[in-house]
Each structure stands twice: as C-alpha cells, then as structure tokens.
C-alpha cells in the first residue's frame, strides 16, 4: 500500500512569489492535514480537510490556504512568500474519525 505522497520534495521560491504544495493521501483516507515544521521548532498545525471541506485551521495568516479535491488529494498554497515561510511542510492523512495520522515525507520550501 502506498503511503502519503507529497510533491515536490524540494521547492525554492523568491520572496513575494506563490508556492503550491501537493499531497496524495493513503487510499481510503478522507482526511488530510497540513503542518509546518520550521527549523528548530516543532510541528505547527496549519489546516485540516475532510470530505472536501476545511474543518479546522491553525493560527496562520490567510495567505496560507488550500483545498481538497474529490479524490481526497490536497493542495496547500502559500501566497506572498516571506523568508520566514521557509520550512518543511508535512501532509498527513487518516480515515474519518481516526485520530492516528500517517505522515508523508514533506516538501522542503526555501524562500530566498
């Protein structure tokens, strides 16, 4: 069984640009979660999608947004990139109602 897959693995953007990160959940999982892991910090909750809808959001500005597609894959968009957005962005998935996540390996976003 394929795990949670994220693309791209690495992404380099210039300040002010937009970044799009993608996530494919484990087959059968309907919930997708996004976390930011900045260097030296723990994981910070960004977004939770379930059945195509945003269910919960962390304390991040509106320029962090996303969506979930009918096939349950998800995109995270970060607009007007700032240097402080450089981090590892982790996607996780779970079946509806299950608390245990399975994480992907992440996308390393570097803003220069």
Token pair for residue 34? 């996004």
Q: Name the pairing type of β-strands 87-94 and 102-103.
A: antiparallel
Considering only 11-19, 62-70, 76-84, 89-97, which stretch makes contact with other proteins by CB under 8 A?
A: 89-97
Question: Which segments of 25-101 are extended strands (E)?
Answer: 31-37, 43-50, 53-57, 64-68, 74-78, 87-94
- 88 part of the interface to other proteins, by CB under 8 A: yes
Binding residues among 56-85 for other proteins as defined by CB under 8 A: 56, 58
Q: Give residues in contact with other proteins (CB under 8 A).
A: 4, 31, 33, 35, 37, 39-45, 48, 50, 55-56, 58, 88, 90, 92, 94, 99-106, 108
């Amino acid at each position: 069984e394929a795990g949670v897959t994220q693309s791209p693995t690495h992404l380099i953007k210039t300040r002010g640009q937009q970044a799009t990160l993608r996530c494919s959940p484990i087959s059968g999982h309907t919930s997708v979660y996004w976390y930011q892991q900045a260097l030296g910090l723990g994981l910070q909750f960004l977004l939770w999608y379930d059945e195509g809808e945003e269910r919960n959001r962390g304390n991040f500005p509106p320029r962090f947004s996303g969506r979930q597609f009918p096939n349950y894959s998800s995109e995270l968009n970060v607009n007007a990139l700032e240097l402080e957005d450089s981090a590892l962005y982790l996607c996780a998935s779970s079946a509806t109602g299950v608390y245990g996540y399975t994480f992907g390996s992440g996308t390393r976003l570097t803003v220069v």
